[in-house]
Structure 1
Amino acid sequence: MASYSDAHRLFVQGMMSRRYLKESAVEELYLKVAARLGELEPLDTFVRQINHELATVEMVVRTARDELTGETFYGLVGTSKNATMATATTFKRAELEMFEVVLQFMIGGNGWLDQQQFFQQRQQVKISERESHALLIELKNEGWLQLITREVDGKVVEGYTLGSRGFVEFHDYLLCEELVSTCELCKTILFYGESCGNEKCEAVAHVACLATSMRNAQAFGCPACHTPWPRLVTTSPLPSRGAE
């Protein structure tokens, strides 16, 4: 493994100032500092060298793919298994507690909740109605939660799922606690997805994976049981927020 150089340090400094970036912004940052190496090397190799060094301070540069859009994001995060400790943010204690309660509710509710359910969670923590409204706006704007619309019993309902920043931050926590499923198509972890229409089949898949498969096939069937998968019930995943 190549030695840890000034290029690696500059890259980490850039990540620390922003913490959460789209793949295109990370590639741009890497190109700016790569001249210090004398020659380019694959970005994933460069990041592995950084993570080897960061392991001593319980941090990691982690990648995650947005479950709804398929975009790739990078985040500089802590590796603590504790959900609250993993969120290095400016949130107040009560706001962090509220977010933890919301996260646990989504885990028990197929990975999402509607707006009314979000505000109902404040009854479990010491936070005012006004503060909970402000918190929801901040969670959306910073990419911790993502707004979606989906069909429920024939009606279109707005709701929220874990945003790409939240997924980057909580990836290891969710994985270690076995709180997530596996996408039947890409075989990576899944927090929010859609289920096969066959009630006897337990297959679930990312919205982004399903959308790609449906575009590339005239008739798409469940990869597990081959039951036709007619359409998505998540009708309008919106672009992720909070990342440059």
Structure 2
Amino acid sequence: MASQAVSASQMAMVGDADDDGVVKPHQPFLQALLFNSPMPEKDVQRIFQQAHAQHQPAEGEEAPDLREFVQQCNDKLKQVAMTINHCTDEVTGDTVYALVNTRVDLAARTYATRLDKFTLSLFNALVEEILSGDGFVNDKDAWQLGRRLELGTAKSAKQTYLQIVSPPFTLRRCRLG
């Protein structure tokens, strides 16, 4: 997964100053995460440190640790139906962070994706199977699940289906936290 680096000048451009001209660390952190989501943990740590360096904390004031800071952000993000989640890749062991929409209404499901109707249906069916079953779906189960869905006549939907289920794989439930 390639991530775009966020420079100190970009951080300065997105910073929000309070009445004293001090940059608040949450806004540049969230804007960087929104711009680059999902983001590897090392990049999140770097942006977190940059945001706090720009904040110019009072003498003796220490920056919270990253998880505490993310929780502070999540407390505010609940108001706009968003959250910052992190997950560890089972294969590489890398942790990634992403800004996630938690709204489940029709508009969010319809307009927040570039996936076609079939691919979105397949994705939802795979997630449902993972959550309601043993916590994983292998390629054979995904193949059968996809065959039960209506492919329609779109050639692109059929190609997408074959790309998703052709290589041997196992999808597993990711434990967040």
TM-score (norm 2): 0.63
Question: Is 2:82–2:102's contact at 8 Å kept on the other side of the alignment?
Answer: yes
Instruction: Determine the C-alpha separation between the residues in 2 that align with 1:72 and 1:62.
Output: 10
Cα RMSD (Å): 3.3
Q: Which has the higher contact order (CA 8 A, sep 6+)?
A: 1
In the alignment, which residue of structure 1 is the partner of 2:120? 96
- Equivalent residue in structure 2 for 1:56, among 53, 74, 79: 79
In the alignment, which residue of structure 1 is the partner of 2:41? 23
| Partner-residue secondary structure (3-state), 1:123 | helix
Does residue 44 (structure 1) correspond to residue 44 (structure 2)? The answer is no
Measure how far apart 1:68 and its partner are: 5.2
Question: Is 1:112–1:159's contact at 8 Å kept on the other side of the alignment?
Answer: no
Runs of 4+ in 1 over 4 A off after TM superposition: 67-70
Instruction: Determine the C-alpha separation between the residues in 2 that align with 1:161 and 1:30.
Output: 31
In the alignment, which residue of structure 2 is the partner of 1:79? 102
Instruction: Determine the C-alpha separation between the residues in 1 that align with 2:42 and 2:36.
Output: 14
TM-score (norm 1): 0.48
Question: Is 1:77–1:88's contact at 8 Å kept on the other side of the alignment?
Answer: no
Question: Is 2:137–2:171's contact at 8 Å kept on the other side of the alignment?
Answer: yes
Measure how far apart 1:103 and its partner are: 1.9
Does residue 159 (structure 1) correspond to residue 169 (structure 2)? The answer is yes
Instruction: Determine the C-alpha separation between the residues in 2 that align with 1:77 and 1:43.
Output: 18
Instruction: Determine the C-alpha separation between the residues in 1 that align with 2:127 and 2:90.
Output: 16
Instruction: Determine the C-alpha separation between the residues in 2 that align with 1:109 and 1:48.
Output: 30
In structure 2, do the counterparts of structure 1 residues 88 and 136 end up closer, same or farther at CA, with 3 Å as the change threshold? Answer: farther
Letter in 2 for 1:74: Y
* Counterpart mapping for 1:153-232 below 5 A: 158-162=168-172, 167=174
Gap runs ≥5 in structure 1: 138-146, 148-157, 172-187, 189-244
Question: Is 2:137–2:172's contact at 8 Å kept on the other side of the alignment?
Answer: no
Instruction: Determine the C-alpha separation between the residues in 2 that align with 1:107 and 1:33.
Output: 36
Normalized per residue, the structure richer in helix is 2
Query: How many residues are aligned here?
Result: 144
Letter in 1 for 2:72: Q
Letter in 1 for 2:117: R
